[in-house]
Amino acid sequence: MTAPRRLDAPTGLQSGDHACWTFADAADLSAAVLPFLDEGRRLGEQLLLIGASRPELLRVLAPLPGRDELLADGQLQVHGTDAVYGSGDRFSPEDQVAAYRTLVAEARQRGRTGLRVAADVTPRARHGAGARRQLHVYEHLADAMMGAAPMTALCLYDAALGDDVLGPVTLLHPDQHSGSEALAHLSGRGLSLSLHGEVDVTLADDLLRALVDVACDAPGEVVLDLSALRFLDVAGARALARATRLLRGADVHLRLVGAPRTAARCLALFGLGGGDVVPE
Amino acid sequence: MSDVRPTGDWDGTALAHEAFVFGADQELVDRVVPFVLEGLSRGEPVLVVAGERVRSLLAGELGPDLDRLTAFTAAETWWRGGHRTLHAYDRDLRALQAVAPTWRLAAEPTWLARDDGREWSRFEAVANRCYAALPYYSLCLHDRERLPEPVLDAVARTHPLTWGGSAPVPAPAYEDPERFLRSVHPAWDRRPARAAVAALTTPREARRAVSAAALDWWPARVGEVVQAAHELVLNALRVAPFVEVSSWTDEGTLVVEVADSGPGLPDETLGYVPPPTKPDSPRGMWLAWSLADDVAVDSHPAGTAVRLFFHHR
């Protein structure tokens, strides 16, 4: 597992990369999508672009080399967000991830090297708190799936959604464009949940929301591996303590394991154990 | 001995904190046995935590009453550094508070005889403030033979009560906790010209700067140094737009200074006060103080500077 990565450009991406990309306006969106898809074209990947309106997306794609051939050939597909993710209550994170899994398999059958998706997910984040909880679950499941399947994704979010909405979403991606530095990633890749990078006061609230949403699905024990955490401050430990308490209310027992030595000191301040503490 | 009043006018509603320095066996017995028996007669939980000598003397004198003590514990295994020892003590106090309206404790902090145990006097000083409202009598026992003069001096300055022969009396040498702390913290020398200095506005920048300095000094302690400095930087950035972080080494000791132009530290004892159990309460200073080997504070209305000292060991 690697530390979260700050992306300067939407290129240099490969299978397994799952990027969170915030954009300011249509021009910004197009500046990200075009090089991302063009890279996939050169890699022989199946390409999928998802956004608010199909006609608008086709206009965005005009400068893409070989656009018409790609569309005619089926290597590039373009869909409206609602058509793919559904609107309102019809969205199911599990079904959506399963659908992508099928698309990956179909792309491989057609001889493509993998699936590359650029999706403007902004509309899903506008549906309110309940939909945002579902969105966190979705990003988490998608991230776990991409850890094991030949898929590359650029998740596009309108920067106007604000830090409250974008913070937890960003944490659920290993590749991040927003902010000056990628600090932390809450990952579902591997056998358990794991936290990578640095969690300080600036991320504490985001972590609390993302963690509670992705862990509260089913009663029972959820393991959070902290061994790849390079830094945890008191505020971050407090967020983990709050998450533990909130989850207990949903009959979920959050078990922290592998805390580095100093992080374990922080956790102990809240009466939390860090599992078998690992040396730094 | 009928005129002896082992706790004087103490009414059991707040902290009484006495230092009793003993030499001869009988001196100890005459002070502690009536103290214990008075507590038992009042139905208070009575706890004894002491070294081997004190325990065997009391066991002989108390006879069957020994079984009526709520705790009769060896002090030798208690010491785990000041912060961890106090944290454990604090949890015990809170547990007692939940079940007893008042209690009394005769405790011998034997670790004051160790070089690394001397910092305990700071916690003794701060206890006068942070435990002021807890309803217990703490009779601290100190063996004149075992403890060096500077430790006995600190004992006298950190306990508001001393034994007057028939009742506890105010200790003439007692000092305000903040004054005591200032006197035992390292002197506030001028920052050396060789110090690396940076003005920073975010905690992550500060972590990078401190991490680089600590790596040059001793990689094994980078985690602790960064953690401690980070919490101070956060405190500073709450009251000031930027923070000045500087660091230097002095004969193997790394010094990290965090300075801000905020309104000054309201309470210089905070780094020695165990955090309350509710999760919202701050813990940064407690953690920073516990990770560093020593600290010094320079606080005035125009700003605060805190120095953390880390020894190469």
Nearest to A234 among B202, B222, B231 (CB): B231
Residue percentage of chain B with pLDDT more than 90:
92
Is residue B295 domain-shared with residue B209, that is, in the same domain? Answer: yes
Average pLDDT over residues B137-158: 97
Is residue B166 domain-shared with residue B205, that is, in the same domain? Answer: no
Average pLDDT over residues B217-228: 96
pLDDT tier at B203, thresholds 50, 70, 90: very high
Q: What is the distance in angstroms between the Cα of A37 and the nearest Cα belonging to chain B? A: 34
Q: Name the closest residue on chain A to residue B230, using Cα atoms.
A: A233
Q: Best interface-test mutation with B: which of A198, A245, A261, A265 has the largest number of B CBs within 10 A?
A: A265
pLDDT at A85 (0 to 100)? 78
pLDDT at A41 (0 to 100)? 96
Is residue A246 domain-shared with residue A262, that is, in the same domain? Answer: yes
Query: What is the C-alpha to C-alpha distance for residues B136 and B152, in angstroms, rounded to an integer?
Result: 23
Average pLDDT over residues B178-195: 96
Does B287 sit within 8 Å of A202, measured CB to CB?
no
Nearest to B283 among A200, A260, A269 (CB): A269
Is residue B238 domain-shared with residue B120, that is, in the same domain? Answer: no
Q: B172 lies in a domain?
A: yes
pLDDT in tens, B20-71: 999 999 999 999 999 999 999 999 999 999 999 999 999 999 999 999 999 9
Is residue A168 domain-shared with residue A251, that is, in the same domain? Answer: no
Q: Domain containing A63: what range? A: 5-181
Does B204 sit within 8 Å of A201, measured CB to CB?
no
User: What is the pLDDT tens value at each position of chain A, 280 positions in all?
Assistant: 567 999 999 999 999 999 999 999 999 999 999 999 999 999 999 999 999 889 999 999 999 999 999 999 999 999 988 777 776 667 899 999 999 999 999 999 999 999 999 999 998 888 788 889 999 999 999 999 999 999 999 999 999 999 999 999 999 999 999 877 889 999 999 889 999 999 999 999 999 999 999 999 878 999 999 999 999 999 999 999 999 999 999 999 999 999 999 999 999 999 898 766 555 5
Is residue B111 domain-shared with residue B208, that is, in the same domain? Answer: no
pLDDT at A194 (0 to 100)? 96
Contacts A181 to B, Cβ<8 Å = 204
Nearest residue to B40 (alpha-carbon basis) of B25, B59, B62: B62
pLDDT at A273 (0 to 100)? 83
- Say whether pLDDT at B82 is over 90: yes
Q: What's the helix, strand, coil split of chain B in %, to 5? A: 45, 25, 35
Is residue A176 domain-shared with residue A223, that is, in the same domain? Answer: no
Q: Name the closest residue on chain A to residue B202, using Cα atoms.
A: A202
If one counts the domains in chain B, the total is 2
Instruction: Provide the whole-model pTM.
Output: 0.91
Is residue B213 domain-shared with residue B178, that is, in the same domain? Answer: no
Is residue B175 domain-shared with residue B200, that is, in the same domain? Answer: no
Is residue A232 domain-shared with residue A261, that is, in the same domain? Answer: yes
If one counts the domains in chain A, the total is 2
Report DSSP letters for A83-105, one per residue.
HHH-SGGG--HHHHHHHHHHHHH
Contacts A234 to B, Cβ<8 Å = 231, 282-284, 287
Is residue B223 domain-shared with residue B296, that is, in the same domain? Answer: yes
Cα dist. B107→B5, B74, B94 in Å?
19, 10, 17
Beta-sheet strand order (sheet of A76-80): A5-6, A175-176, A18-23, A151-158, A115-120, A46-51, A76-80
CB-facing half-sphere around the CA of A264: CA atoms within 13 A: 17
Nearest to A280 among B202, B223, B231 (CB): B223
pLDDT tier at B15, thresholds 50, 70, 90: very high
Q: What is the CATH number of the domain that holds A217?
A: 3.30.750.24
DSSP state of A140: H
Report DSSP letters for A156-213, one per residue.
EEEGGG-HHHHHHHHHT-SEE-SSSS--EEEE--SSSEEEEEEE-HHHHHHHHHHHHH
> Domain boundary at A121, A150, A181, which?
A181
Q: What is the CATH number of the domain that holds A104?
A: 3.40.50.300
Q: Domain containing B270: what range? A: 196-310
Query: Residues of B near A (CB-CB distance < 8 A)?
Result: 202-204, 207, 222-224, 226-227, 230-231, 234, 275, 277, 279-280, 282-284, 286-287, 290-291
Is residue A48 domain-shared with residue A170, that is, in the same domain? Answer: yes
Mean pLDDT (chain B) is 95
Is residue A170 domain-shared with residue A216, that is, in the same domain? Answer: no
Q: A57 lies in a domain?
A: yes
